């Protein structure tokens, strides 16, 4: 159980112009499962390795329960790490792999067996303990690696893309297992991934990272519904949020093609709306924030269908709007053909606005 | 087509992993197969099933060999075998022959007299002890050194590392005889002539460059995350190296141990340079003296030389069989099981 605080952390690798981690501050609450989500190369793994003590920071501090750990060796940080490649010791059996950190710490023999038994039951490993890693499947190796982390009863778990070496089906399964495990143990967990569905399903909070900085921290819902900027809007969601050039016109927003959408209500955004109208706005609409109708509706915009992508449980309809393509999520039975005319209505609660220059969210 | 069409094909197939492409070019197949009699059986045994079908398929594509061709190929192999085996046959027969000569002779009667002479008159046990002390110490020192140096070059952040690494390889290309004089002077100044330490140090130095380079490659093949996992599990860097990396690099250590032992065991030039004390000479040097006899090459006692030869080879064979499995894995630079 622990609070992890990153304070103005920076790290630049030799020979690179852009820092991997850039003046980053972030707090992971006690018992929270925080997922750092970002594209490859955004610095999330570097951040995790600095936290683990495997990489050094150029500047900044990391505190664990208020105590600075930045100068400590990895072994003194009381943090367990689950690697993407599992990192099981090939010459040791699953049992000895799990017991290794306890042996290193001279935990009493009886206590070792108790903790091993508990972990093995929790992870359903009893039948596998005698095997060497080479005799285990990927999922089993992953469970042993988790076992090695939990027997230590550390202050925090770090997980570095622990699921990305598993096949798709197993990944979904292990995702559930990890979530249940962490909930059971209540241990603070710092989880790094590039997979947004992993992040959405696992996280108590998501920290979206790009170019060495945190773009937004929030619950999965917050991050999805109210992205802090264009990067988050485009990175999260599949398909991502539609971003359209717009300008303010009184109470309405006008999209390039002449689509008039009522501006989102509320007093807070109005001044910023006015302030930004000179430089221009970007309007954000999630694919499910647009209602598609195959018959004419008052106030709706008529547009031409470009392509229909059926996905089983839903259909993504691509619609041509001027020189842009808008993706709309519809029910599975809606199947407009290319060149059909459909009518679009933006749902009032789903309109998001961004400054076209800075990319920052303006409203909502 | 029956198997008798190519009966010289060895029973055990070469080690080909099932599913992997057959590396043997069709034309050279038999020659290569026969030329590798030392290939360990266990390597081949675990893949014995799959290549058989591949071999049959290949045989089907090849024209039949005529009996004459069969005979010629066999004769050629028999001749080659005879040529390479005859020195060993001579060694065996001459050692047990009291009146041995430099030609092949069947001993009559078989006798142990030569061995007796070697131990009584030549004081062989002393030379053997010298050789064992020097070679085993060289082996231990070399193995420890390459394990540390290989790791350093593989993992540590050292300035000008590439430069250092290639200089080490460059050292390996230096002919030993070119350094004879400075080594003599150095050893004399440091008091390293006529003692074990001098021999151990120089033999270690001779073997280090190649083996350090080799060990570096072994450590390169061990993924970094394994030792990182050990650090996080609570080990110091040294203990993580010792408990996690060294076991991974065991085949490499076996090769380092085997090669350094064999090299120190057979090295004679540096013994010649560093040792005058007759009590300190090693077995290969004793050979040299026995062959010179009483100063002229006319009265060489071939029986004694042969007996010496056999005694000389025995530790090498023991060494080989003790480390054979690991050596083969190491020499194939295989990281299977990682």
Q: What is the pLDDT of residues A132-155, one digit of tens each?
A: 999 998 889 999 999 999 999 999
One domain for residues A87 and A171: yes
Contact yes or no for B231 and A90 at CB 8 A? no
- Is the per-residue pLDDT at A316 higher than 90? yes
One domain for residues A76 and A203: yes
- Over residues A66-95, the pLDDT tens digits come to 899 999 999 999 999 999 999 999 999 999
One domain for residues A215 and A201: yes
Q: Report the residue from B232, B239, B244 with minimal CB separation from A89.
A: B244
One domain for residues B123 and B101: no
- Interface of A to B at Cβ within 8 Å reads 52-54, 73-75, 77, 79-81, 83, 85, 87-91, 100-101, 104-105, 134, 148, 152
One domain for residues B317 and B180: yes
One domain for residues A229 and A244: no
One domain for residues B106 and B138: no
One domain for residues B53 and B162: no
One domain for residues A57 and A194: yes
* Within-domain flag for B218: yes
One domain for residues B43 and B82: no
Residue B173: helix, strand or coil by DSSP? Answer: coil
B162 to chain A nearest CA, in Å?
Answer: 17
Query: Cβ-count burial of A270 within 10 angstroms (0-12 exposed, 13-18 middle, 19+ buried)?
Result: middle
User: Which contacts of B77-86 are long-range, i.e. CB under 8 A and separated by 24 or more positions?
Assistant: B77/B8, B77/B34
One domain for residues B105 and B134: no
One domain for residues A17 and A44: yes
CA distance A200 to B86: 76
Residues in chain A: 364
Task: Give the residue ranges of DSSP H helices in chain B.
Answer: 29-34, 41-45, 50-60, 67-95, 113-120, 124-155, 161-172, 180-189, 196-221, 224-232, 237-240, 246-248, 250-266, 269-274, 283-292, 302-331
Residue where a domain stops, chosen among A211, A234, A257: A234
One domain for residues B251 and B179: yes
- Over residues B294-331, the pLDDT tens digits come to 555 566 788 888 888 888 888 888 888 887 887 777 77
One domain for residues B210 and B270: yes
Beta partners for A36? A192, A207
Residue where a domain stops, chosen among A234, A263, A289: A234
- Over residues A212-232, the pLDDT tens digits come to 999 999 999 999 999 999 999
Residue where a domain stops, chosen among A234, A260, A283: A234
One domain for residues A251 and A184: no
Q: How confident is the model at residue B293 (pLDDT cuts 50, 70, 90)?
A: low
One domain for residues A38 and A181: yes
Query: In terms of CA atoms, which chain B residue is nearest residue A100?
Result: B233
One domain for residues A108 and A213: yes
Domain that holds residue B29: 3-60
- Is the per-residue pLDDT at B334 higher than 90? no
One domain for residues B84 and B200: no
Domain that holds residue A267: 240-363
**How many domains in chain B?**
3
One domain for residues B224 and B278: yes
* Within-domain flag for B336: no
- When mean pLDDT is compared across A100-109, B116-125, B327-336, the lowest value belongs to B327-336
Q: Which residues of A touch B233 (CB under 8 A)?
A: 75, 100-101, 104, 148, 152
B74 to chain A nearest CA, in Å?
Answer: 44
Residue-level pLDDT at B251: 86
* Within-domain flag for B210: yes
Query: In terms of CA atoms, which chain B residue is nearest residue A92?
Result: B244
One domain for residues A284 and A197: no
**How many domains in chain A?**
2
Mean pLDDT across the stretch A22-44?
A: 92
One domain for residues B43 and B83: no
CATH label of the domain that carries residue B234: 1.10.3720.10
Residue-level pLDDT at A254: 83
One domain for residues B250 and B144: yes
Max Cα–Cα distance, chain B, nearest Å: 73
Residue-level pLDDT at A1: 63
CATH label of the domain that carries residue A264: 2.40.50.140
């Amino acid at each position: 159980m622990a609070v992890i605080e990153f304070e103005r952390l920076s790290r630049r690798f030799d020979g690179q112009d852009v820092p991997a981690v850039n003046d980053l501050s972030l707090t992971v609450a006690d018992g929270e499962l925080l997922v750092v989500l970002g594209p490859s190369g955004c610095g999330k793994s570097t951040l995790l390795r600095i936290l683990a003590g495997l990489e050094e920071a150029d500047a900044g501090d990391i505190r664990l329960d208020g105590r600075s750990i930045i100068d400590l060796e990895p072994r003194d940080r009381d943090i367990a790490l689950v690697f993407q490649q599992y990192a099981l010791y090939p010459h040791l059996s699953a049992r000895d792999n799990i017991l290794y950190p306890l042996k290193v710490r001279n935990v009493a023999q009886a206590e070792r067996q108790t903790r091993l038994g508990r972990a093995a039951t929790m992870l359903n490993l009893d039948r596998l303990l005698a095997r060497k890693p080479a005799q285990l499947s990927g999922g089993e190796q992953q469970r042993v690696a988790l076992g090695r982390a939990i027997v230590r009863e550390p202050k925090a778990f770090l997980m570095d893309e622990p699921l990305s070496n598993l096949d798709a089906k197993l990944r979904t399964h292990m995702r559930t297992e990890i979530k249940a495990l962490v909930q059971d143990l209540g241990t603070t967990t710092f989880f790094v991934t590039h997979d947004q569905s992993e992040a959405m399903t696992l996280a108590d909070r998501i920290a979206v990272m790009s170019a060495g900085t945190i773009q937004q921290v929030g619950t999965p819902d917050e991050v999805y519904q109210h992205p802090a900027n264009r990067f988050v809007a485009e990175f999260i969601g599949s398909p991502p949020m539609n971003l359209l050039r717009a300008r303010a016109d009184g109470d309405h927003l006008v999209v390039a093609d002449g689509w008039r959408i009522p501006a989102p209500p509320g007093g807070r955004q109005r001044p910023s709306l006015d302030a930004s109208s000179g430089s221009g706005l970007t309007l954000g609409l999630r694919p499910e924030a647009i209602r598609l109708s195959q018959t004419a509706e008052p106030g709706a915009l008529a547009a031409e269908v470009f392509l229909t992508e059926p996905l089983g449980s839903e259909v993504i309809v691509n619609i041509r709007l001027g020189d842009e393509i808008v993706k709309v999520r519809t029910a599975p039975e809606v199947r407009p053909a290319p060149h059909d005319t459909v009518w679009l209505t933006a749902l009032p609660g789903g309109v998001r606005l961004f400054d076209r220059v800075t990319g920052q969210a303006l409203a909502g | 087509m029956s198997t008798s069409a190519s009966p010289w094909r060895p029973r055990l197939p070469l080690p080909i992993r099932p599913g992997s492409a057959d590396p043997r070019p069709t034309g050279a197949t038999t020659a290569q197969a026969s030329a590798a009699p030392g290939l360990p059986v266990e390597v081949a045994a675990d893949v014995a099933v799959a290549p058989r079908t591949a071999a049959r398929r290949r045989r089907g594509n090849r024209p039949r060999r005529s009996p004459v061709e069969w005979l010629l190929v066999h004769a050629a192999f028999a001749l080659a075998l005879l040529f390479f085996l005859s020195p060993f046959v001579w060694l065996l027969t001459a050692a047990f022959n009291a009146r041995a000569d430099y030609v092949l002779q069947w001993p009559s009667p078989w006798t142990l007299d030569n061995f007796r002479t070697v131990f009584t008159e030549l004081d062989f046990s002393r030379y053997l002890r010298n050789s064992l002390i020097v070679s085993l110490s060289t082996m231990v020192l070399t193995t420890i050194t390459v394990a540390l140096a290989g790791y350093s070059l593989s993992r540590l952040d050292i300035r000008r590392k590439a430069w250092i690494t290639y200089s080490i390889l460059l050292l390996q290309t230096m002919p030993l005889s070119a350094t004879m004089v400075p080594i003599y002077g150095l050893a004399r100044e440091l008091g390293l002539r006529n003692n074990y330490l001098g021999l151990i140090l120089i033999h270690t130095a001779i073997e280090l460059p190649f083996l350090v380079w080799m060990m570096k490659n072994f450590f390169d093949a061990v993924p970094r995350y394994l030792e990182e996992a050990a650090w996080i599990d609570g080990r110091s860097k040294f203990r993580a190296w010792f408990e996690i990396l060294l076991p991974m690099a065991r085949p490499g250590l076996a090769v380092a141990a085997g090669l350094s032992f064999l090299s120190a065991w057979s090295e004679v030039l540096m013994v010649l340079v560093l040792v005058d004390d007759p009590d300190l000479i090693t077995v290969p040097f004793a050979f040299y003296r026995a062959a010179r006899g009483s100063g002229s090459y006319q009265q060489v006692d071939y029986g004694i030389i042969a007996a010496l030869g056999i005694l000389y080879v025995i530790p090498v064979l023991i060494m080989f069989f003790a480390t054979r499995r690991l050596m083969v894995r190491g020499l194939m630079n295989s990281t299977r099981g990682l």
